[in-house]
């Protein structure tokens, strides 16, 4: 078996086995059906790349590592539908939350609110004065048509606008209630890059590029779709 095929086989076995964060090396060997010496050489190579951690009989891959493994597998020819089935949708949300938190944002996951009689939910909301990032974590399993992406982006714009308009209802859950002004930014987080980085000025960000996107957002904010809202009155809402 070719070395790249061997490595891809190991990566797919790791993704199947590390959904809880770790697994026995013996279980990876049984799943991949690769000789132990070749498996260990592959695991050590992946460890040097920062994609796994090997500790005696155990191999660990936390969420960011699993995403790195998935992207590597995709670059090696793995099918995106197969990869998507091996990833948990919660992993996208976790990465979004961790990246925003590390960049100074106060994070709220699965924010539910109502606009009139409509119930809405935003996967991840990050607040850092004056920016409110509203992330829709998309775990799609195939390439999207333009019409499908149109619907996804428009729905996220509507949710973001609805949140801005509904803040007196959910103000107790978001730190932005104490700000004078907020700039709400709809974002789509995906597994892989799309044809365009922006769709209707809404960023469509591959998960492994989310850190770069968030760190550069304050200086690039004028280039992305955003909704400005005066918030100073919210601090006085009973």
CA angle 80, 81, 85 (to 5 degrees): 115
Strand 53-55 relative to strand 106-115: parallel, antiparallel, unpaired? unpaired
Q: Which of the residues in the chain have pLDDT under 70? A: 1-4, 140-144, 168-172, 193-195, 233-238
Sign of CA dihedral 114, 118, 124, 125: negative
Tens-place pLDDT, residues 102-126? 899 999 999 988 888 889 999 999 9
User: pLDDT tens digits for 66-80?
Assistant: 989 988 898 888 887
CA angle 221/222/228 to nearest 5° reads 85
Predicted TM-score of the model (pTM): 0.77
Domain ranges (residues) in the chain: 3-87, 90-236
CATH fold group of domain 3-87: Arc Repressor Mutant, subunit A (1.10.10)
Judge: domain 90-236, CATH 1.10.10. no
Domains 3-87 and 90-236 share a fold: no
């Amino acid at each position: 078996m070719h070395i790249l095929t061997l490595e891809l086989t190991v990566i797919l076995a790791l993704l199947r086995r590390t959904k809880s964060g770790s697994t026995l090396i013996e279980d990876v060997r049984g799943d991949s059906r690769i000789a132990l010496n070749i498996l260990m050489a592959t695991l050590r190579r992946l460890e040097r790349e920062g994609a796994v951690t090997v500790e005696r009989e155990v191999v660990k891959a936390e969420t960011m590592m699993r995403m790195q493994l998935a992207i590597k597998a995709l670059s090696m020819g793995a099918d995106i539908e197969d990869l998507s089935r091996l990833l948990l949708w919660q992993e996208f949300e976790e990465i979004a939350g961790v990246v925003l938190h590390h960049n100074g944002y106060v994070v709220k996951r699965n924010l539910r609110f109502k606009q009139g009689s409509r119930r809405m939910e935003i996967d991840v909301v990050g607040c850092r004065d004056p920016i409110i990032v509203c992330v829709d974590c998309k775990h799609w399993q195939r390439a999207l048509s333009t019409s499908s992406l149109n619907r996804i982006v428009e729905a996220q714009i509507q949710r973001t606008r609805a949140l801005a308009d509904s803040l007196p209802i959910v103000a107790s859950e978001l730190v932005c209630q104490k700000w004078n002004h907020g700039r709400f930014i709809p974002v789509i987080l995906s597994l892989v890059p799309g044809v365009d980085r922006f769709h209707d000025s809404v960023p469509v960000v591959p998960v492994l590029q989310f850190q770069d996107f968030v760190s550069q957002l304050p200086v690039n904010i004028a280039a992305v779709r955003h909704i400005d809202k005066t918030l100073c009155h919210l601090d006085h809402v009973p």
